[in-house]
Structure 1
Amino acid sequence: MKLATFRHGGRERTGIVLLEDRRVLPFAGGPGMRAIIESGELPDTTDPVSLSDVRLVAPLRPASLRDFVAFEEHVDGVRRSIDGSGGVPEAWYDAPTFYFTNPHRILGPDDDVAFPARSVARDFELEVAVIAGPGGSVFGYTVLNDWSARDLQKREMQVNLGPAKGKDFASSLGPWIVTADELDDRKDTDGFLDLWCTATVNGTEIGRDLLGNMGWTFETMIDYAARDSVVVPGDVLGSGTVGNGGCLAELWGRNGRPDPLPLRDGDVVTLTVEGIGSLTNRVVTAPPTGDLPPVRRRDQARARAAR
């Protein structure tokens, strides 16, 4: 079942997408997607509307967005691009590592993505996101684009913290949520989803990989995120970028140069995941920002005098 959030008749609604009929069945009472996920039950529906008459938006606004790095090939390629080291750190094999990104900058299908004006090394990231359900279950899946300003990321990660301004300007989700039961028959014997994922820029295919090449299942990722912590229904957890061209930086690292070229204004990126759907966005530039005031460096003599 495909569950969407959409605009129709001047308001935002949720409902079931019937692709074969090109219709949407709106939920009665106008519940938000997070409320539906928390309840674990689907509301009654009302009269259908044509899919062509609605504007799909991000399927939900999660309380948190964790992004994992579950593909070895991606780790190796991006490390070559970011710091020139390459290889996969031994610590990667210990647990499914993740970082938190900004849940307040979630974009949906066909939204423009405004990159920081200071960034020229602009990149996409082809991912699948799992939506946590009640009790740490898997509610469903959607496509995730973890947009990346690689030049900003490269500089700030020299401080040995995770990416910040290189990432928090935008993440895209969509086009809808496919409930877990719809894809159960695509799991292999180890619980990995056997789905092809592709990325195109302006219609040209850049990367293609199997989601089943992940190092951990989505169930393991939810369990690990909840360890000594809390995962609530509606939380979104990204798979991390697939390998074999799931982002430009991986290819830059392997080719030793920015080939293919970084994203530019007007470029259209489409991520497609078999059994889930396609997510398309156009790249633009955000308004320029001012310079920061100079840092106040620590004065050693003053610091000693204060003791």
Structure 2
Amino acid sequence: MLQLATSTPIVALERDGALYDVAELDRHFGTKLADIRGVSDFHTRVVALRCAGLHALDDRLLSGDRPASAHLPPATIVWLPPCATDRAAYIQLGPYAHGAERPWYRFGNSRALLGHAAEIPFPPLEDEPDYELNLAVVLGEDLRRATPEEVERAIAGYTVLNDWTARSLEARSLERGLPPSEAKDFATQLGPVLVTPDELGSVEALRTQVRVDAVARSCSRVGEWTFSLAESVAYISNHVELRAGDVIGAGRVLGGSAAQRVPYGASVELMIERIGRMTGKPVCGPALLPWRRR
């Protein structure tokens, strides 16, 4: 997240709905990491150091030792996606046809990853903004030609992902036999919380819900994929060298319907049990500037 007072990205811990600055917790509790330069950087602390010391800090919070100096009031921060967008690759798994022989995936735009509570600028003239609720993982280790077991050990954490989609633009692209890149790559939301695997158990049984302007649209469970998430990532690693910090969207859990498109300005809230909730608001983006020579 971004601390508004200093415009500095920071790592925080969430406990019982309250947020605590990890760097300040380190200082307050006198941990060995407190004086290491750069240790508060997300990629360093969460990815490279595999959340070093964070479980111990969370145990202190859980015990009731919650220093006021580390508390972060919501009005003092802006949410960032739980990844390093300048270093991460973003790969999105797709839906599978019945009887599919292998996973399907596409590369997304990691530079367009946005955080919780963001406004989502859709392409101009798009009249069918829509959401797609996903579970996502952030990798904590490099993977190349990995087994499913190696993938499971490499997962740093799980989070919520909204694969926002411009449906009209998607339909026009597919009609022309083109990939729907322009309908997806303008913005994707991630976060706000990254939950480590030891906190979750089996993710397939987790309940999900979507609310639009506080009205429930749909409920489901993450469910079973044609291939497990670990199998799908293992398959990708045969073709692509995956790096620690990369984001993998596990495929759509819930999406909108043609009869229930999301109006511009609506608050869309996606929830996955034990992982968290994320809100976003679709808005109409600016008109294209002239791009052809005259």
User: Which TM-score band applies after superposition, normalised by the shorter structure?
Assistant: 0.7 to 0.9
Is residue 2:52 matched to residue 1:42?
yes
Give the equivalent residue in structure 1 for 2:42: 33
- 2:199 alignment partner, one of 182, 185, 194: 182
One-letter amino acid of the structure 1 residue matched with residue 80 of structure 2: V
User: Whole-Å Cα distance in 2 between the matches of residues 65 and 16 of structure 1?
Assistant: 23
CA gap of 1:223–1:51, structure 2 versus 1, over 3 A, is farther
Give the equivalent residue in structure 1 for 2:78: 55
Deviation of 1:21 (Å): 6.6
Deviation per residue, 1:204-231 (Å, 9 max, x gap): 1122221133223222222111113201
Q: TM-score, normalised by structure 1?
A: 0.75
Greater Cα shift, 11-20 or 143-152: 11-20
Give the equivalent residue in structure 2 for 1:193: 204
Give the equivalent residue in structure 2 for 1:82: none
- 2:171 alignment partner, one of 130, 149, 154: 154
Deviation of 1:26 (Å): 2.0
| 1:1-307 equivalent positions in 2, closer than 5 A | 5-20=1-16, 22-27=18-23, 28=34, 29-30=37-38, 31-36=40-45, 37-42=47-52, 48-52=70-74, 53-62=76-85, 63-70=88-95, 88=97, 90=99, 93-136=100-143, 137-184=154-201, 187=202, 192-242=203-253, 246-248=254-256, 251-252=257-258, 259-260=259-260, 262-290=261-289
Describe the SS at the equivalent of 1:241.
Answer: strand
CA gap of 1:283–1:54, structure 2 versus 1, over 3 A, is same
Greater Cα shift, 192-201 or 104-113: 192-201
Deviation of 1:197 (Å): 1.2
Greater Cα shift, 285-294 or 198-207: 285-294
Q: TM-score, normalised by structure 2?
A: 0.78
CA gap of 1:220–1:161, structure 2 versus 1, over 3 A, is farther
One-letter amino acid of the structure 1 residue matched with residue 20 of structure 2: V
User: Whole-Å Cα distance in 2 between the matches of residues 64 and 171 of structure 1?
Assistant: 13
Describe the SS at the equivalent of 2:204.
Answer: coil
User: Whole-Å Cα distance in 2 between the matches of residues 223 and 156 of structure 1?
Assistant: 30
Deviation of 1:263 (Å): 2.1
Greater Cα shift, 149-158 or 285-294: 285-294
User: Whole-Å Cα distance in 2 between the matches of residues 166 and 291 of structure 1?
Assistant: 20
Deviation of 1:292 (Å): 6.4
CA gap of 1:18–1:104, structure 2 versus 1, over 3 A, is closer
User: Whole-Å Cα distance in 2 between the matches of residues 158 and 23 of structure 1?
Assistant: 47
User: Whole-Å Cα distance in 1 between the matches of residues 230 and 216 of structure 2?
Assistant: 30
Deviation of 1:291 (Å): 6.6
Identity fraction in percent: 24
Give the equivalent residue in structure 2 for 1:77: none
Deviation of 1:132 (Å): 1.1
Greater Cα shift, 12-21 or 169-178: 12-21
Give the count of matched residue pairs: 254
Give the equivalent residue in structure 2 for 1:297: none
Deviation of 1:7 (Å): 2.0
User: Whole-Å Cα distance in 2 between the matches of residues 209 and 203 of structure 1?
Assistant: 17
Greater Cα shift, 175-184 or 8-17: 8-17
Unpaired stretches in structure 1, ≥5 consecutive residues: 73-87, 253-258, 295-307
CA gap of 1:215–1:32, structure 2 versus 1, over 3 A, is farther
Deviation per residue, 1:71-96 (Å, 9 max, x gap): x5xxxxxxxxxxxxxxx365xx2112
CA gap of 1:118–1:228, structure 2 versus 1, over 3 A, is same
One-letter amino acid of the structure 1 residue matched with residue 9 of structure 2: R
Whether the 8 Å CA contact 1:201–1:270 is kept in 2: the answer is yes
Which protein has the larger Cα radius of gyration, Structure 1 or Structure 2? 1
Unpaired stretches in structure 2, ≥5 consecutive residues: 24-33, 58-66, 144-153
Whether the 8 Å CA contact 1:138–1:219 is kept in 2: the answer is no
* RMSD across aligned positions (CA): 2.4
